[in-house]
Chains A and B, each alone.
Chain A
Amino acid sequence: DIQMTQSPSTLSASVGDRVTITCRASQTINIWLAWYQLKPGKAPKLLIYEASSLESGVPSRFSGSGSGTDFTLTISSLQPDDFATYYCQQYHDYSTFGQGTKVEIK
């Protein structure tokens, strides 16, 4: 099984901050990685797929990078609507998620 290690588990930041979340796969997954945003009571939202492709309708302040085993989600300027929990997902072999990163207000 491919394990996904996401860090940090919690991140305290202010509006306007640049935020970076990392995800490491236990074996190479090429570019088969997605990032999601979760808010309580809402449907999860796809942000990034194939490691760096921005989903239609997602603000350009979100970006993804990486390949192989190491990946990054960056929010260039944190907005009030961005306080949420973020998950990475590998889909190279089966599908597994990271443990999540909660972005909270500093």
Chain B
Amino acid sequence: EVQLVESGGSLIQPGGSLRLSCAASGFSVSSNYMNWVRQAPGKGLEWVSVIYSGDDTYYADSVKGRFTISRDSSRNTLYLQMSSLRADDTAVYYCARDPTYGDPWGHFDLWGRGTLVTVSS
């Protein structure tokens, strides 16, 4: 079955670090453009980061310098390393697949169910 399963979300104190994982099955994360998208409580969707060809990356301004996206082909897993976490990083974090190639920007045809990150003291 083709699917994405996120994990790693938890309650973390402000200033802390956390690594989210997104395990893929049925396709290769290394052969696709992969993204992280988040949704804060009661808010809309916010794109966070993309990793695409040659492992090039882009980040939203709100997380640039604090978050790092990466992937491990041997584990077929996408990661999001988050540091210097703030209260406004509290959200459900989704990983999503972009089936297109070329530009780093595309639509997302496959999503996981998300993992909740709560930043609070």
* Chain A residues proximal to chain B, CB less than 8 Å: 32, 34, 36, 38, 41-46, 49-50, 55, 87, 89, 91-100
Is the C-beta of B47 less than 8 angstroms from some C-beta in chain A? Answer: yes
Check A44–B109 contact: CB distance below 8 A: no
Chain A interface mostly: loop
Check A44–B105 contact: CB distance below 8 A: no
Check B94–A91 contact: CB distance below 8 A: no
Check A97–B109 contact: CB distance below 8 A: no
Q: Which residue of B lies closest to A35 (CB)?
A: B107
* Chain B residues proximal to chain A, CB less than 8 Å: 4, 35, 44-47, 50, 58, 60, 94, 96, 103, 105-114
Q: Which residue of A lies closest to B39 (CB)?
A: A38
CA of A38 to CA of B4 in the docked complex: distance in angstroms?
16
Assuming the A-B contacts A100-B44, A100-B45, are A94 and B58 also in contact, with contact meaning beta carbons closer than 8 angstroms in the complex?
yes
Check A96–B47 contact: CB distance below 8 A: yes
CA of A45 to CA of B110 in the docked complex: distance in angstroms?
7
Check A97–B45 contact: CB distance below 8 A: yes
Task: With A32-B105, A91-B107 given, name 12 new contacts (CB 8 A).
Answer: A34-B107, A34-B108, A43-B113, A44-B94, A46-B110, A55-B109, A87-B44, A87-B45, A89-B107, A89-B108, A93-B105, A97-B44
Chain A neighbourhood of B44, CB < 8 A: 87, 97-100
Check B111–A44 contact: CB distance below 8 A: yes
Check A94–B111 contact: CB distance below 8 A: no
Chain A neighbourhood of B111, CB < 8 A: 43-46
Check B47–A46 contact: CB distance below 8 A: no
Chain B neighbourhood of A32, CB < 8 A: 105
CA of A98 to CA of B45 in the docked complex: distance in angstroms?
8
Check A46–B109 contact: CB distance below 8 A: yes
CA of A43 to CA of B109 in the docked complex: distance in angstroms?
11
CA of A87 to CA of B39 in the docked complex: distance in angstroms?
12
Assuming the A-B contacts A44-B94, A87-B45, A100-B44, are A95 and B109 also in contact, with contact meaning beta carbons closer than 8 angstroms in the complex?
no
Residue in A32, A43, A49, A50 whose Cβ sees the most chain B Cβ within 10 Å: A43
